[in-house]
Amino acid sequence: MSIKVCKFGGTSMADGSTIQKVANIVKSDKDRRYVVVSAPGKRFSNDVKVTDMLYECARAAADTGNCAAPFSKIRQRFENIVAELGLKMDIGGVLDETEKRICEEKSADFAASRGEYLSGRIMAELLDVPFVDAQDVIRFNDEGTFDAEESYALVARALADKPYAVVAGFYGAYKDGKVKTFSRGGSDISGAVVARAVLADLYENWTDVSGFLACDPRIVERPQGIKVLSYKELRELSYMGANVLHSESIFPVRGANIPINIRNTFRAEDEGTMIVPLSKYRYTGNIVTGIAGKKNFTVIHIEKSMMNSEIGFTRKILSILEENNISFEHMPSGIDTMSLVIDSNVLQLGMLDRLLTEIEQTVNPDHVRVYNNIALIATVGHGMSSSIGTSGRLFKALSDANINVRMIDQGSSELNIIVGVADEDCNRAIKAIYNEFFGEKAKA
């Protein structure tokens, strides 16, 4: 008997009828042994996710010591779910206790974690299997980083005597028991951790689309589906904004070569996307596998003649970033130029000016220019390295769409080409690249 770990996202857990679909999917395959769940997400487009409502409760608890008003909506959602599913559990009692603890703990992480805790308890009741509280098995170390080895050991121990179980997604705890969450969308990581801990044969990630698509379906209508994706392609695409899967969920499974299958809870018959190690990857014939984009970067462009022959130039620049505790995303360079691409969110008030002053003082550049509100777009695919003229086609598509390219970075692995454009051109650029490689002309 093989082991499948299945993670179900927020839309799959949104209400009683979707949760019943989840239960049917789980029960239809006895290998689906460990189920990891998200908190209830949106039921319709302008609905509010339970996680967002819980952050609201945490704010109210911190400000006034009371979160009864925002909690009442959460109470209603869970009571409806339990009633729709016809479960006998004392959800009222669990909710009373949850509200009380949110007020006592005054921690945003604790409050946010309760969405997954509650939906996990409900799913365990519905499937009639044990519930495993992630607080006991997912560990963060004192610096707040995820402790992978300790977590794998704790999860494996907790599940050793349980052939079937439900584990709450998204959160874990420090050694002292204080609850901490992953970043948003983090139940994908929890699922990957459970898969790794039990050395699963497959990690199924069930969501609301039939797999990874060639680009964001909110940008291009009905983009082509991707049948097979390598771990490397996944990492590039998810990091650059294809948030169908959290970009960090790859690490636990990659170490044990566990494939990921992205599936659609609402079209369970669709095969979805398989994400596999390179050794199992077969070239699909597509030059480009997918395109993803992310907005809000700042580019610091530094020019200095003979920069390349100045020993220690790059080190000095990187030391400035390090001393100010700033990480950078990319560093494309030419003979006399270098650009630092930094996520604008990490540049707190005054930090950009400080970096510019230190760069001036330390390396005495000829020119320094700053570009704000830059979007990065990654065009990714193993097929690109063996196909002549890919970048020519990409840049022609962008220029035909009248899009000004501010920066170019072609990864040395030839797995991706990254271009920087103005934030407001981001979606148009993705559409132009998509049409070039997947549109009618590309098929002809």
Binding site for ligand ADP (CB under 6 A): 9-12, 38, 41, 185, 207-209, 212-213, 215-218, 242-244, 290
Q: Which span (179-187, 266-274, 337-345, 364-372) binds ligand ASP, by CB under 6 A?
A: 179-187
Q: Which residues touch 109 (CB under 8 Å, ≥6 apart)?
A: 171, 179, 180, 181
Residue 213 contact among ligand ADP, Mg ion, ligand ASP, none, beta carbon within 5 to 8 Å by kind: ligand ADP
Sign of the alpha-carbon dihedral angle for 6, 11, 15, 18: negative
Residue 39 binding result from ligand ASP, Mg ion, ligand ADP, none, given CB thresholds of 5 to 8 Å by partner type: ligand ASP
Closest CB to ligand ADP among residues 163, 217: 217
CA atoms within 13 A on the CB side of 110: 18
Q: How far apart are CA 251 and CA 242, in angstroms?
A: 17
Report if residue 186 touches ligand ASP, rule: CB under 6 A. Answer: yes
Cβ-based burial of 353 (10 A; exposed 0-12, middle 13-18, buried ≥19): exposed
The residues that bridge with 303 in the sheet, in sequence order, are 337, 367
Q: Is 207 in the site for ligand ASP (CB under 6 A)?
A: no
Strand partners, 156: none
User: If contact means CB under 5 to 8 A according to the sort of partner, which of Mg ion, ligand ADP, ligand ASP, none does residue 170 touch?
Assistant: ligand ASP
Q: How far is the CB of 424 from ligand ADP (least distance, A)?
A: 19
Smallest Cα–Cα separation from 98: which of 123, 72, 124? Answer: 72
Q: How far is the CB of 344 from ligand ASP (least distance, A)?
A: 22
**Closest to ligand ADP by CB, 12 or 190:** 12
Size of residue set near Mg ion by CB under 5 A: 2
Min separation Cβ 181 and ligand ASP, Å: 8
Specify the stretch interacting with Mg ion by CB under 5 A; choose among 2-10, 25-33, 287-295, 351-359: 2-10
| Cβ at position 211, least distance to ligand ADP in Å | 7
Nearest CB to ligand ASP, comparing residues 187 and 265: 187
Q: Which is nearer to ligand ADP, 99 or 233 (CB)?
A: 233
- Going by the DSSP 8-state scheme, the letter that residue 404 receives in this structure is -
In angstroms, the CA 270 to CA 108 distance is: 37
Q: Name the minimum Å distance from CB 94 to ligand ASP.
A: 18
Nearer to Mg ion, 36 or 288 (CB): 36
Token pair in block for residue 324: 């100010």
What's the sign of the alpha-carbon dihedral 382, 383, 385, 389?
Answer: negative
Would you call 260 helix, strand, or coil by DSSP?
strand
Q: Least CB distance from residue 109 to ligand ADP, whole Å?
A: 19
Q: Rounded distance, CA 68 to CA 61, Å?
A: 9
From 57-65, 83-91, 182-190, 359-367, give the range in contact with ligand ASP by CB under 6 A: 182-190
163 binds, among ligand ASP, Mg ion, ligand ADP, none (CB under 5 to 8 A by kind): none
SS3 343: strand
Q: Which does 425 bind (CB under 5 to 8 A by kind): Mg ion, ligand ASP, ligand ADP, none?
A: none
- Position 203 contacts ligand ASP (CB under 6 A): no
C-alpha dihedral, 31 to 197 to 136 to 112, nearest 10°: -80
CB 437 within 8 A of CB 393: yes
Q: Chain-centre distance of CA 222, in angstroms?
A: 21
Side-by-side strand order, sheet with 139-140: 139-140, 171-174, 179-181
Should residue 185 be labelled a site residue for Mg ion when binding is judged by CB under 5 A? yes
Q: Which residues bind ligand ASP (CB under 6 A)?
A: 9-10, 38-39, 49, 51, 115, 169-170, 184-188
